[in-house]
Structures are given as structure tokens and as C-alpha cells.
Amino acid sequence: MFILILGGGRIGSSLAHRLIAAGHEVSVIEKDTSRCSTLDEALGSVTVPGDGTDVASLSTAGAGRADVFVATTSKDEDNITACQLASLRFGTPRTMTVVNKSERGRLVDMLRINTSIDITDLAVNKIQEFLFVDGMVQQLPMPGDDTRSLLVARVPRNSAMDGRPVSDLQLPNGTAISLLVGRDGHARVPDQSTVIRSDDEIVAVGDRPTHEMLRAALVEQLGEKE
């Protein structure tokens, strides 16, 4: 695949390294010429110096034949403009952007951008992974699928569900527990009669409309006994 990246900062350059290591063709549009030379020294000529929010630089960088356009700068206005140009002017089939200010998430979702990544949200989720504590439901992305995510919860000690069967859990329609990992580390696919124990880990798959409901249901019902 040919991936065109806007911005050769920390995110853009790490992404370029990984994509090249995976055998893909990459171009990075970057304003700062010293960043360009650092990247070119490390990766061969991959950079196109210039403002990636103008038509000429995008054209030089090959926006017209890019399979994916990824905007990674720290300026949301530049990322968003570049994605609009890539999509509307150059017909790039897939556009992605980093969102620096979470407040802009709602707007970005309404625009012609296929995927947006809220970096604050991402960092907080990652911190939460390491802060994995009772009563907290962790959400992990499904690789390559931004409409679904994995929810993982640990059943707390004194959970109201301790010793009760899966059928006692009231989950939103269309959702189910996919896997139950016992405290011995043994994973099994539960049926309605499988008994839930404290310290079990529960794995469920949620899609966008339901995962918040599923998360709330798990937090509430797995909670400690009154």
C-alpha cells in the first residue's frame, strides 16, 4: 500500500518507520526542513518538504495515488483541511486524522474523514489499562475495525455476581459475553449456566451503538454487594 502521512513529528515519523518496516510505500509531508532531513537519513527519501494543506504539496507527494492519507500534526485545523483536500480534491479512498482537542471530536465525526483518533482519549485508555482495578471496564480496540471494541472487566471480590450463572446478567440486546477467563488463567466460552466467580475476567465484544450500554451494565451488575 501507499500511505501518505501529513506531519513528520513524533507520531508521523514513528508511523513512517513502522510502515516501511512492514514493506509499505510511504511519503511524509513536513514543513520543517530539518525534520525532513532527519527522516530522509533514517528512511531514504520519504519526505516531501512543504505545507501539506496546500494542493501543490499534496499533489507532489502523490495524494492522487495514495491508498490512505493519515494526518498527524498537532494542529487540528491543518489535519482537517488536509483530509478534506485529500478526499475531495484527490479522491484518496481512505483518510484518517489525529484529533488533538477532544472537543472537536463531534465535528470531525460529521466531516468526510473515515477515521479519527482522539489522542487524549487514547492516552487515558492506555493509562486505564495499567490501572486495571476492580469495577473498571477496560475498552480495547479491535485491530483494523473502528466500529467494534473489546470490553474487558474483572469481577471484583464481593461481586454481586459471585457464584451466580451468566444467565443472571442482564445485558443489552445483541451483546453477549464471549469469553470468561478464570483466576487460573484458563479461558472458556461460557454458556448461560456457566457460574461467574470473583477474580474472573470477562471479555465481551461491543459495537459502537451498544458498547457504552454494555460497559454500564457490566460496571453496575458486577459491582460489589451492598
Partner 1 sequence: MIRPLQVNSNSRYAVVVGCGRVGAAIARGLVENGVPVRILDIDPNAFEQLPRSRIESKRITPITGDGTLEADLVRAGIADADAFVAVTGNDNVNALAALAASSLFGVSSALCRIDDTDKQETFNSLGLTAVSATALLADHLIDSVVN
Distance in Å, CB of 72 to partner 1, minimum: 15
State the number of binding residues for partner 1 (CB under 8 A): 22
| Binding to partner 1, residues 65-94 (CB under 8 A) | 75-78, 80-81, 84-85, 88-89
Pick the binder of partner 1 from 18, 65, 101, 126 (CB under 8 A).
101
- Measured from the CB atom, the residue of 13 and 73 that comes closer to partner 1 is 73
The whole-angstrom separation of Cα 163 and Cα 42 is: 57
Distance in Å, CB of 120 to partner 1, minimum: 14
DSSP state of 210: H
The residue range among 15-23, 110-118, 134-142, 199-207 that interacts with partner 1, by the rule CB under 8 A, is 110-118
The whole-angstrom separation of Cα 60 and Cα 73 is: 19
| Binding to partner 1, residues 138-197 (CB under 8 A) | none
Distance in Å, CB of 80 to partner 1, minimum: 6
| Strands of the 187-188 sheet, one edge to the other | 137-142, 145-154, 201-207, 177-181, 187-188
In 3D space, the residue among 171, 170, 166 whose CA is nearest the CA of residue 214 turns out to be: 171
| Binding to partner 1, residues 18-57 (CB under 8 A) | 53-56
**Residue corresponding to grid cell 445483541:** 174
Which three three-digit cell numbers place residue 41? 537519513
Contact 226, 148 (CB under 8 A): no
- Measured from the CB atom, the residue of 103 and 220 that comes closer to partner 1 is 103
Contact 78, 52 (CB under 8 A): yes
What is the binding site for partner 1 (CB under 8 A)?
A: 53-56, 75-78, 80-81, 84-85, 88-89, 101, 103-104, 106-107, 110-112
